[in-house]
Structure 1
Amino acid sequence: MSLDSGQIGKIAALSRLKLAPEQAQALEQQLNNIMQLADRLSSENTDGVEPLAHPISLIQPIALRLREDAVSEADNRVANMANAPAAEKGLFLVPKVID
């Protein structure tokens, strides 16, 4: 699959981008390269290949990367709320956004 200049223009309009012609041409080339890579990846035969949840597990055990969750900072609610323009019961008060 490849994109043409009309499709690039439509993508730019949907993204609210104003592209100069040379930018549009460069973007077209870059997106087409990405699409070619995606096509190559999807055409590869992956039968019998075990999925990897963490690719790093090929080179080191997962247990080495993961650690137990631990509290590293004390509760600073009072200090954090000190600069709040309006607060109630330890919560920030903000203006009503939706009627």
Structure 2
Amino acid sequence: MSLEKTEVDTISRLAAISVDASEVDQLTAKISNVLDLFQRMEAVDTTNVEPMSHPLDQVQRLREDVVTETDHHEEYQKLAPAAEKGMYLVPQVID
């Protein structure tokens, strides 16, 4: 799958990043290569492949789940500039 320069321009505008005109050709080729790799990966038949979370068949040693520290929530709430009902209040950053 190959991208057009206009698509790279659109992607860069939507991502709010500036792409220099001299870099558009190179970036278009790189993104197209990644998309081609994805297409080749999708073509692989994985019907009988069992999903795995790790390439090595190992068991992780886990420690016992025991509380080791006391709850300092109330102390931290008192230090916060603004807190209400157990939550920290912050200025709105998204309109």
TM-score after normalising by structure 2: 0.70
Distance 1:95 1:5, change over 3 A: closer
Which residues of 2 match residues 1-99 of structure 1 at below 5 A? 1-52=1-52, 54-56=53-55, 58-61=56-59, 64=60, 66-88=62-84, 90-92=86-88
Cα distance in 2 for residues equivalent to 1:86 and 1:8: 43
What is the identity percentage for the equivalent residue pairs of Structure 1 and Structure 2?
Answer: 36
Worse-matched range after superposition: 9-18 or 84-93: 84-93
> For the structure 1 residues 86 and 67, does the alpha-carbon distance in structure 2 shift closer, same or farther, using more than 3 Å as the test?
same
CA apart distance, 1:17? 2.2
State the Cα RMSD in Å.
2.9
- Deviation at residue 5 of structure 1 after TM alignment: 0.7
1:86 Cα deviation after fit: 3.7
Greater fraction of residues in helix: 1
Q: How many residues align?
A: 93
Distance 1:78 1:9, change over 3 A: same
- Comparing both chains, which one has the higher relative contact order based on Cα–Cα distances under 8 Å and sequence gaps of 6 or more? 2
User: Please, which runs of 5 or more residues in structure 2 have no aligned partner?
Assistant: none
